[in-house]
Structures are given as structure tokens and as C-alpha cells.
Structure 1
Amino acid sequence: MQQTKYFIIDFDSTFTQVEALDVLAEIALKDNENQAKAIQEIKDITDQGMEGGMSFRESLKRRVKILQANKKHLPELVDRLSSLVSPSFKRNTEFIEKYKEQIFIVSNGFKDFIVPIVKKHGIKEEHVFANEFKYDNSENIVGFNEDNILSSNNGKPRQIENLKLNGEVFVLGDGYTDYEIKKAGLAHKFYAFTENVRREKILDEADHEAPSLDEFLFTQKLERAHSYPKNRIKALLLENIHEGAVNKLKQEGYQVEVHPAGMTEDELAEAIKDVSVLGIRSKTQVTEKVLKNAKRLLAVGAFCIGTNQIDLKAALHKGVAVFNAPFSNTRSVVELALAEIIMLMRNLPDKIMQMHQGKWNKSASGSFEIRGKTLGIIGYGKIGSQLSVLAESVGMNVQYFDLEEKLALGNANPCPTLEHLLQSSDVISVHVDGREENKWMIGSKEFDLMKDGVVFINLSRGHIVDIEALRKNIERGKIHGASVDVFPEEPLSNDHPFESPLMGLRNTILTPHVGGSTLEAQENIADFVPSKIIEYINTGSTTNSVNFPNITLPTLSQAHRFIHIHRNEPGILADINNILAKHGINIGGQYLKTNDTIGYVITDIDKNYQEDVIKDLKLVRGTIRFRVLY
């Protein structure tokens, strides 16, 4: 017969995010000129008591003495603490409601403010055990009831012993006094709660770390708001991804590991084994070998526009969704392209270098305005089309070539062939994607077709242009000026050397893949990509995924969501629904979308069902991945 479980929960820095006496000090001492010093002293004493460095009773006496508080301060304290209830407690109301007869708040804090707060969240008043303030005739707080067990050293174990709980006892708290219950042999397990404060000395004594109530409930297999604790989701971010992305993922509750450079295939294959979310930029290659080692990977975020560095087909077969930032750095790349067109037309790279060498070469030779010149844009996508608008606004004539039919913006003209564009443009700027078919798109043959004195710019992908052919055409004067931001081989980090045949050439701008590297662009990307990944993990929505069928899903409410990713084969949806029918499950909503490779089925059902249905759904033929969300 299964034993009854009892849950002993601390209040300060566990049920609430703060130590209540610290907040009370801020309220009571707000007009005191020594407020800051007194508050810090109280916090220091609190920490010593929590970590076992000072006896509890001594800690309590010293703090109450410094407080100089009055009963009139308590309503404001209750209001402030009510807004500071730990998020994981606020969302797990179902657990508190179901187990209210087995949940006890045992705190070294004070009933005077604890009871009004926890009662609002379903905790029974008679299940709150805490200290009590003593007041003088003017209602000043002058001490505490020293006869209360919890005011004494080792008070929590004595209080639990008095409760005579017949069953398994689990303690959730952040301080040494919580651990003392387990130390006294009165608890089955002690969980160190670290959602609000992390005390290493307490973690050393704990049976388990609980970064949230969700983690505690998950390990106990109890009702909870989240199907899977977010603290168990590990994110690995490479290549100096903007700190905004790091913070966003941490705020969601994920473990986040940051690596400043790219990784080789072997390095990443090793590092990715227990990673659920991978974030990269342009240097890291996510290959089939890497993905085979990714046992827990749910999503890859490309913190850039391109995704050719990711094997999208292998990711799809693995059930890994890929997201990028298709618009976030567009403006940055376009501004750089326009600036470089002007610089190269004016032959500024050479003049700038000569000035640094002490040479004054004031001459109009080889310098031209861009007004009236024809700009040929290869690739009329998000970047190419915006460059078209800006270039036209400064007086250039714009033409473009794209394999797909694209609506011209402004007065831009489509070219019937790439050859036509190459032969008739004064400036050529390449903005195509990294698909394999575009490899070596521009080589010796294409350079031969260009006008003499053309300006050539590549801000797209390194393997688009034959670098040796470009070098020869710069050296022989065919190309008036060139700018290259992307290269067939690029260093993994800023600490690795850069080499290129283009180094040292006249009127040539070489930049280290910084087309999208502006603070504005990186901030936008750092917000957009994590948002899409978080939305996918939380709801199953695949909006803006570059490899999954795109589905935008409603917010899940009072239901469980089954997410089934499978090979796109006939009859699988029928198999899924037959299993649901066999288990007597009514479908609240169902969504299906497919592409050539996979089917993506989302089914919302009532929360009450037998766990066997999950086992059956995982065994459906063609299953790649199955997840439950709630």
C-alpha cells in the first residue's frame, strides 16, 4: 500500500521570492538616515542564519532589534509579498488544491504576515506553523514569542516531530533550518529550492536541487502546470550570440551554456549530446553526424538569415525544428552594401590607406558619383529588394535577376537572364542564399561578361564566388573595386587567423562577415529567434520554421496537447485517432500539416487519460518524436 506523502514548504525565499524581514526593514526604516546600513546588516544576519553560520535564535533576535517596525507596517508588507510569490508556486495551484490536507508551511518567519498570503493560494491556516511577533502598547514590534518551538534552535525538526505525520515527508526549502528536518531523520528527502536564491552550502546537504516547484513535482510525478521542468532544458549558444538571447532563455528557466566561438564537427558532436536547444551563427556546421549525436535536441536557432550551415534534411528526419531570423538584420546588410558602393566608386580604400602611410593624393582620377549608375542586384529577396529601394533613392538605376518571379519595388527592372545583368551593370551586388546550386555562381566566365571597370560586391555566401577568379580580375583591372564580407573558409573565432588571396589588393574592402553585425540587428535577432524556439517548445507552434510544416496554434487551456512528428506516410493520422478512440479519449482540437518528408499532428485532449495511451502513440509506425505539453 502506497504511503501518504506530506509536503513541508518553507516561506521566505521559497514560497515567496524574498526574505520577508528584509522587505519589512525597507518599509519600517524608509525615513531612517541609516536605512541602507541597517537593511544590509539584516540581510547579512539572514544569510548567516540560513547557511548555518549563526544560531537561529540569535539571528532572529538581532534582526527584530534592528527592524524598529510597528504593526501598522504589516499591511504594506503583505501587499508587497503577495506580489512576490514565487512564479512556480503561482502557476501550480492545482497541486496545492489537490494536496492541501498534506501541505504544511513551516517557517521561521512570522504568522502575522505569512497566513494572509498563503491562504490566498489555498494553504490551510491551521497548516501554517511559524513565529509570532510581540508588540508593546504602541504596537511596536519588540520581540517574538520565545515559547514558540520555531523561535528556538532546531525548531523545525521539533515542530515536524509534534505533527506526528504518518507517511513520507518531503521538505522543500532554501536554508539550513530546512535541512535540519532531514538531518534529524524526520524527512524522506530534502529538496534545496533555488528558484530565488542559491546557497551552495545547502545544496551540498540536499538530496536534490529544485530550481522550481515544477522540478519537485516532476520528480514526485505529481500534478503540475508544466509537463516538463524548464530547468531540465539545456541550451547551448555558440559564436558570441548576443546576451539578450542568453537572458531571454534564462528567464524562461532554461540552463544556458555559452561558448564564444564556433565548434568543429567533432567538438559539436560531443557537446550536443544532452542539449535541447542549439543556437549558432554562420561559422558552425550542424551536420548529419552532429545531429545523430543529438539525443535530446528539439530546436536549432540560426541567429542570422542563412541556414545553409545546417543540414535541414537531416534535422527534419531527426524531428528537430530549425528557426532563423529572416528579417532582423536586413537593414544592416543593406546599409553596408550601399556604403561600400560609394566607397569603391570613389576609390576610397586606396586613398584611406595612402593617408595612413603619409601620402597626400588629392585627385579625381578613378572617382565617380553613384548617381545615374546602374546597380545590378543578383537575388531579389529580403536584402536585395531593400537595397533596391535605398539605391534608387540616392539616384541609381536598379535592375535585378532572380530565379523566381519577384515583384519589382519602385522603378527597378527585372533582367531576363543573369548574363544580361552582368553585361549591363556598373555595380553588381550579390544577395543569394547558400543552397548548393548557387555554389561558384560567379566565376571566370561571369567576370568576363561584366563591363570593364565594374564594382563587385558579395555580402551573401562565401562559396558563391570563385575567389581566385575575382583576384585575377581585380589585378588585371577588369574590376574597378571589390568588397567581400563572406569567404569560402572563415576562422572559427576572432582568435583564429584569417587568410585570403584577396588580401592586399587595390581598392578592395575585406570585412569579417559583419554584414549583419550591428547592435540593432543583433538585438533584434536575439529577441526574435529565442521567441520562436520558446513558442515551439511551449505550444508546438512552428511559425517561421525553415524546415517544419508551419502551424500557428492556439494557447493551450485546461487540456493536454499531444505532439506527434512522423514520416509522411498514408494512414498515420488514422492510426493515431484509432488509438485515441481505443482509450476513450475525446479530441478537443486537432491540427495536421505535412511536407514531403514529415507529418506534424497536434491533438488537444482532456487532462484525464491513462498513461498507456502515450506508450501506444510512441509505437505508431513512422514515429520520429512524440511530446506531451500542458
Structure 2
Amino acid sequence: MESVPSKPLKYFVFDFDSTFTQVEALDVLCEIALKDDPKREGILSEVKRITNSCMNGEISFRESLESRLALLPAHQDHLPALVKELKKSVSPSFERNREFFSNFSDRIYVVSNGFKDFILPVTQEYDIADDHVFANEFTFDAEGNITGFDASNLLSTDEGKVAVIRALDLNGDVYVIGDGYNDYKIKAAGFANKFYAFTENIERGSVIDKADHITPSLDEFLYLNKMNTAISYPKNRIKVLLLENIHPDAARRLKEEGYQVETHDAALDEAELAEKIKSVSVLGIRSKTQVTANVLENANRLLAIGAFCIGTNQIDLTACSKKGIAVFNAPYSNTRSVVELAIGEIIMLMRGITDKSSGMHRGMWGKSAKNSNEIRGKKLGIVGYGNIGSQLSVLAENMGMDVYYYDIVDKLALGNATKCNSLEELLGQVDVVTLHVDGRAENKQFFGADDFAAMKPGALFLNLSRGSVVDVAILKEHILTGRIRGAAVDVFPTEPKSNEEEFVSDLRELPNVILTPHIGGSTEEAQENIGEFVPGKIMEYINTGSSFLSVNFPNVQLPLLQNAHRLMHIHHNRPGVLANISQVLLKYHINVVGQYLKTNEDIGYVIIDIDKAYSDDVIKELRAIENTIRFRVLF
């Protein structure tokens, strides 16, 4: 019988600066040494320029090293501070994958044009043997000043890395992971099977062009080589699409997490989004983008949707649930902004300010107290007493208004607000009506002819909720007759997709009417809050499986995953699914260390933490259980 040839061993060669660490160590040493030097910024800029020229292959390494050290008034006493900074600057994906370095320490090498003086204290913490680290060494004078480098060291020359790998004569497949041109040279000289351009910290076009693979993180490298143990799926493969000019903080947070992020200022129409969404894992939208069932038919990679606003009626939540897509919104982040706009508009309408201001711009001096009133002592009617309505209630009362409210759900009054038992009861007695209802289908034209007719003559009307909830034609009619003294409208049945499109509405050019372009929540503070909150919920869901505050998933708040693998099973809410999951786990003698289950009327969500050791057949059988919608593994 012929023996099966064994696979060749794999050896891993890592660069240090801007690969193992996020920084170039000599640049950091320069910052430390020049801390109080008035010429600091100019010298730092020149050192970084020289570094980049070398990394891009524009100048020789020996030339760059000599030039940088000539600019560097460093002392051996600066090195402990440098080492401290480098230990804090290890690339996040390296830190995540400490287990990889421990498991393969005998086949991991660090080959750097940097200096052992600061590299060894860092690599020692990752179980890399000192004799597997190849780097330059400083020379010092009698006072401890750094005077240069050991010129006899191979790594002080242009072909130093190639010479080191040649001398090692590694008997197996050699993979080089680095960010510089000198790392590529090892592959070009024929001493490495593959060169991976590491881009987690810096992207050099001239290096990327030479690479066999681009690896935005060590996770990606390990995933490609089926060696991933720290995380189940590289975050750089998770593509995020953010539409409608979402606050830059959202993109920043998601990029820092390691995701690919693409942004667009405007909404996309159904056909555009259906095509774009095919490769997207996370979609972020505001109110204009319509995520329909047709769009979702193409969303086979989509894990989550973030609505960077309060409402979610622009998203087909039923279709999302059927495909196992979690939806998150920002129910609280812009509440204050909407409330302040409502208060401001009530005051403006009570005083007829917009018409007076327009007249002034045309040269008219219309000084008069007629139809100009204080809001103190007036009755405010709030329709919808949720987050916004209740906060408006408190602020309006503090400004001297008498507050009345109506909600189809029994809500506790705040302050001295008066609860009304019907909408008609509220409308007949208040001076201002303001709508704060959601955009569900049954609320379409919620406020129509009978409701306007029930309002007190001369009352004011505000809609800062959803454009579809008001019969605009009837509102216009009552404004023209004077029955409605004034109105403020922030939302419309049809809205432009971008600032370049014309706004068309029957409410244009009407007296004492304030029209705003759906900006109730569009303050810098609110958008910043939303830009922090929604990505946080999405990342929590992707990273841990927690669905807390999802609008369509059973809400599960989970502990951090520790020393286990997490199985997440999303299924149609049918009898027997949990029993089938338990049978699979029992069949393979799986030890369960934690289990969580919640259901709503449509779907069930089971999260199971199990020991790390299990057969791939377990995963196959769990995926195959009847009524399974989506199955994920986290570790």
C-alpha cells in the first residue's frame, strides 16, 4: 500500500512596523525624543516622508535608515517609553488572535528592518521565541545616545529580508504578511509561496499591486487559510451600505470595527437598491429609502438593517423577519430635537412670524399685535403620547401651556397633562393640535375631513410625524378658509429623494404655514446620537447575537461570549423546533454551557453556547432542521 504524502508545513513570516503594530516605531521614537523640541513638527514630517518613500520602494532601505537616524536625537532612556507605546499599539487583529501565535510559535517568524531593542519586548508577549525574531540593532555612544546601527546586520541592507529567509531555508510553504515593498521582495526572489499585503493599518498602492492577496486583518489571512480560531468570520468581509447622508460618526464607528463601508448621500430607488443589496451584510437608511419585499428578495447576505430615524414603516418588517434580518432603529436619539422644533413652530405660528418675516424681505413694515399671541395659557392637544409626545408635554407645560393628550394605548400622564378619552374630546377644546403618531399602514390619512372639522375655529395644526397620516388636500382647504389659523408641516406623502429634486406640495405659498424638509430630527446633536446608537446595536447583534431593541426580532440581551462557541438559530415560530435542536445536540453529546430562547408571533430565536469541540456534522444538521430561517456560528 502506498503511503499518503504528508502536506508541507506552513511557515508564517511577519513584518513588524505597521503590521504587527499599528505604527512605525522610529516615527514614535522620534515623537518621544523630540517632545520639547521647537522643530518637532518639521522633523517628524520629514521622518514620515522618508519612511513612506522606503515602504513604497522609491528609495533604498539603507538610505532611508541612515537619513531617519540622522534626524533622530534619541537616547537609550527613550526606549522604555517607546516599548510601552508599542505594546499599546499592537494591531487589533493580532491581539484578537493570540491563540494563533501560541499554537504555531515554532513556525512563526518576525523579520523586520526595525530594531530588536524595541521589537523583542513586544513579540515576547505573543510567545514568539527571540531566535525567531530578526531585526537590526542600534549602536550607542558612551553616554547612551543612539549613534546609528550595526552595518554588518543583513537587515540594514536593501535585500536583507530576502537574505534572512534564504538563510533560514524553511522546509515548507512560506507565507509573508507585511505592508512594505521589502516584504514583497521575499516572494519576488522566490523564497515565499505567497505574499499578503496587510492593510489593517496602512494601504500602499505599490505594495497592494504586487500582492497575491490583500488582507485587511489577520482574521482575513487565517480565514483564507482555514486557521481562524478567534472569530468565526472576518469583519472586513462584512459590507455595510449607508444611504441618505447618515452622520459620518456611523461610518467611522463601523470602519473602526473593521467592516467595509460604502456611503451615498441620497436614497436609492427600488431597482437600484435591489441590485446594490446583493453583496451587502448591513444596510443603513433614513426615511426615504423603501426596503420592499422585492428588494429583500435579492438580500441573501443581509444580516441587519439600521433605520437611522424613529420610524420603520419604510421597511417591510414582515419580509425581513421571514428572511431572518434583524431591524434596529433609534427610538430615543432625536426626541429632543423634534420636540424643540414643535415648540419653536408653535411660538412662530402664534405670532405669525413667517408671514411678517416674508413681508419684511419684500420691504413691508407690518407692525401689529393682531393675531399675535403668547403660548402661555393656551391649550395644547398632543395626539400620540409616545417618546416625543410625552417629552413635548413636559416642555410645553413648563412654558405655561395647558396640555391635553390622546393615545390609543393607555399612557400615564406626565406633570399636569390631561388625558382625553377620544380624539374628538381633545380636538374640540384645544388651541393647538400636534400629531406624533407612527406610520403604520392603518394610520394612512388618519387625520382627515371629520377631524379638521372637529377642531376649534382658529386653531393651529402641526404634523411632525409621518406624511401619510394627514389628508393634505383637506388641510389646504381649511387653511384657505381661515378655519385653521396656521400650520407647520415637516413630513409629506411624497418627498424628494435628494436635495437636487424639486419639492412639490399643495401646501406651498399658503399663509402662516411653516414647511420644513423633514428635519424634525435633523440637528447635529440628534444625528450624532443616532450615528452612535444604531451602529452600536448592529455591531452588538453581529458580534454577540444580542437582539435587544430590535423592532422585529424577539428581544434577547446576551452576555459576552467566553471560552465557547455560540450557535444562533432563527426559525419560523412552529412547534417542535426547539425539541429538534435539542435532539441534534444530544445525538452528538454536545455540552451546553448557556441557552437563551425568545419568540414572537412570527419567529423564534434560540441562542446556545457550547464547548469549542464539536463535529462539523452538528452544524449541518442544525442548518437542516425544518423551519430554519437562518443559522449563524460565533466564536
TM-score, structure 2 length as denominator? 0.97
Q: What does 1:248-327 align with in structure 2 at a 5 Å threshold?
A: 248-327=253-332
- Segments of 5+ residues of structure 2 without an aligned counterpart are 1-5
Matched, 1:580 2:585: yes
SS across alignment from 1:214: helix
- AA aligned to 2:166 is E
Change in Cα spacing, 1:457 to 1:189, as seen in structure 2 (3 Å) is: same
Q: What is aligned with 2:505?
A: 500
Change in Cα spacing, 1:451 to 1:30, as seen in structure 2 (3 Å) is: closer
Q: What is aligned with 1:389?
A: 394
Q: What is aligned with 1:556?
A: 561
Q: Is the 8 A contact 1:131 1:145 kept in 2?
A: yes
Q: Is the 8 A contact 1:94 1:223 kept in 2?
A: no
- Segments of 5+ residues of structure 1 without an aligned counterpart are none
Matched, 1:346 2:351: yes
Matched, 1:529 2:528: no
Q: Is the 8 A contact 1:239 1:261 kept in 2?
A: yes
SS across alignment from 2:82: helix
Q: Is the 8 A contact 1:560 1:629 kept in 2?
A: yes
Change in Cα spacing, 1:360 to 1:66, as seen in structure 2 (3 Å) is: closer
Higher deviation after alignment, 61-70 or 13-22 = 61-70
2:25, 2:497 → 1: CA distance?
A: 49
Q: What is aligned with 1:45?
A: 50
1:348, 1:378 → 2: CA distance?
A: 25
1:12, 1:185 → 2: CA distance?
A: 23
Per-residue deviation, residues 353-380 of structure 1 (Å, max 9, x unmatched): 1111111112222222222222111111
How far is 1:592 from its partner? 0.6
Q: What is aligned with 1:70?
A: 75
Matched, 1:568 2:573: yes
Q: Is the 8 A contact 1:345 1:369 kept in 2?
A: yes
Higher deviation after alignment, 74-83 or 593-602 = 74-83
2:334, 2:463 → 1: CA distance?
A: 16
Q: What does 1:200-599 align with in structure 2 at a 5 Å threshold?
A: 200-599=205-604
Q: What is aligned with 1:174?
A: 179
How far is 1:210 from its partner? 1.2
How far is 1:32 from its partner? 4.3
- AA aligned to 1:151 is S
Change in Cα spacing, 1:394 to 1:61, as seen in structure 2 (3 Å) is: closer
Aligned to 1:199, which of 196, 199, 204?
204
How far is 1:33 from its partner? 4.3
Q: What is aligned with 1:81?
A: 86
SS across alignment from 2:283: strand
Q: What does 1:87-236 align with in structure 2 at a 5 Å threshold?
A: 87-236=92-241
How far is 1:302 from its partner? 0.7
- AA aligned to 1:60 is L
Q: What is aligned with 2:606?
A: 601
SS across alignment from 2:279: coil
- AA aligned to 2:391 is Q
1:69, 1:363 → 2: CA distance?
A: 76
How far is 1:61 from its partner? 2.3
How far is 1:25 from its partner? 2.1
How far is 1:421 from its partner? 1.7
Q: Is the 8 A contact 1:399 1:413 kept in 2?
A: yes
1:168, 1:243 → 2: CA distance?
A: 43
- AA aligned to 2:485 is H
Change in Cα spacing, 1:410 to 1:135, as seen in structure 2 (3 Å) is: closer
SS across alignment from 1:440: coil
1:348, 1:136 → 2: CA distance?
A: 78
Change in Cα spacing, 1:458 to 1:119, as seen in structure 2 (3 Å) is: same
Change in Cα spacing, 1:442 to 1:27, as seen in structure 2 (3 Å) is: closer
How far is 1:139 from its partner? 3.4
1:604, 1:611 → 2: CA distance?
A: 16
Change in Cα spacing, 1:515 to 1:30, as seen in structure 2 (3 Å) is: closer
SS across alignment from 1:120: helix
- AA aligned to 2:369 is A
Change in Cα spacing, 1:36 to 1:417, as seen in structure 2 (3 Å) is: closer
Q: What is aligned with 2:3?
A: none
How far is 1:567 from its partner? 0.8
Change in Cα spacing, 1:142 to 1:373, as seen in structure 2 (3 Å) is: closer
Q: Is the 8 A contact 2:180 2:207 kept in 1?
A: yes
Q: Is the 8 A contact 2:219 2:228 kept in 1?
A: no
Aligned to 2:619, which of 590, 599, 614?
614
Change in Cα spacing, 1:397 to 1:76, as seen in structure 2 (3 Å) is: closer
SS across alignment from 1:536: helix
How far is 1:616 from its partner? 1.6
Change in Cα spacing, 1:33 to 1:391, as seen in structure 2 (3 Å) is: closer
Change in Cα spacing, 1:51 to 1:366, as seen in structure 2 (3 Å) is: same
How far is 1:142 from its partner? 2.6
1:153, 1:363 → 2: CA distance?
A: 84
Q: Is the 8 A contact 1:112 1:133 kept in 2?
A: yes
Change in Cα spacing, 1:38 to 1:352, as seen in structure 2 (3 Å) is: closer
2:378, 2:44 → 1: CA distance?
A: 69
Change in Cα spacing, 1:436 to 1:23, as seen in structure 2 (3 Å) is: same
Instruction: Work out the number of aligned pairs and report it.
Output: 630
Change in Cα spacing, 1:419 to 1:104, as seen in structure 2 (3 Å) is: same
Q: Percent identity?
A: 61
Change in Cα spacing, 1:69 to 1:424, as seen in structure 2 (3 Å) is: closer
